[in-house]
Amino acid sequence: MATASRRTTRAANKNGASSNGKSNAKTTKTSAKVTPEKLASTLIAAAQKKFGVKLDTREQRIAKKVGYATRERLGKNLLGLAQDDFSWETWNKIFAKIFGEPTDLKYPPEIVAGAMAIIYHDVPTEPEAAVQALIDYNDRSLEERNRREREERENDDLNDIEELLDEDDELDDEEEDLDFVDEDEDEDLEDFDDDELDDFDED
């Protein structure tokens, strides 16, 4: 019986349990002081110090997207209604007075999105869903703007290539003009016989 008891004790110790009931298994030490917020703040501070740039937080990014989406969508709506009487410069000033700048809204994104939900039927009335709808609008708008800019750059490159080709064609035409010899002049050269050359030699 004593032998069996010792075997049981050794097996328990091997599996990480001591004879006094405490576990011998190693535990990973984690600092209770480290939080996601602390890590994010450290990263933002490091980027500012080392590279001179400021990383936006999640809340700041969301607020900016909501701000830009709201200003753009309302502006395009007003442009379609007012047409020639509309001015983006004037509208941007009005928007700033009401909502603040897109990068520095006067109100939380949920409030701004809620106002948009009252005006537009496709913006959900639930705050989080309304915010997400404006974020999606901003993402689509940015993607479309990037696509247009990319196409413009490609068109500019094609125009540059066409101009170079036109310049090459002009050079080819000039070379052809230089290579052209009038037939009459060519015959005169053929008629210039050896006797005439001798006359020049005698002189």
**Angstrom distance (rounded) from CA 17 to CA 13:** 5
Run of H or E including 104: strand 104-105
pLDDT level of residue 58 (50, 70, 90 thresholds): very high
Run of H or E including 158: helix 127-179
Q: What are phi and psi of 31, to 5 degrees?
A: -80, 125
Instruction: Tell me what the mean pLDDT of segment 55-71 comes to.
Output: 97
Identify the pLDDT of residue 176.
63
* Mean pLDDT (the chain, rounded): 82
Quick check: 75 pLDDT over 70? yes
Region of residue 100 (phi > 0: left; psi between -120 and 50: alpha; otherwise: beta): left
Three-state DSSP at 17 gives: strand
Reading the block at residue 177, the tokens are 């003009």
**Angstrom distance (rounded) from CA 42 to CA 48:** 10
Cβ atoms 113, 123 nearer than 8 A: yes
144-184 pLDDT, tens digit per residue, is 999 999 998 888 877 878 777 777 666 666 666 666 555 55
Quick check: 98 pLDDT over 70? yes
**Angstrom distance (rounded) from CA 130 to CA 136:** 10
Instruction: Tell me what the mean pLDDT of segment 11-25 comes to.
Output: 51
Instruction: Tell me what the mean pLDDT of segment 124-149 comes to.
Output: 96
90: amino acid identity, one letter: T
Identify the pLDDT of residue 70.
98
Compare 7 and 104 and report the one with higher pLDDT: 104
Instruction: Tell me what the mean pLDDT of segment 70-89 comes to.
Output: 97
1-12 pLDDT, tens digit per residue, is 555 555 555 555
Reading the block at residue 107, the tokens are 């109100």
Cβ atoms 110, 67 nearer than 8 A: no
Cβ atoms 20, 9 nearer than 8 A: no
Identify the pLDDT of residue 90.
98
Predicted TM-score of the model (pTM): 0.64
Identify the pLDDT of residue 91.
98
Instruction: Tell me what the mean pLDDT of segment 31-36 comes to.
Output: 82
Bridge partners, 23 (sequence order): 17
pLDDT level of residue 118 (50, 70, 90 thresholds): very high
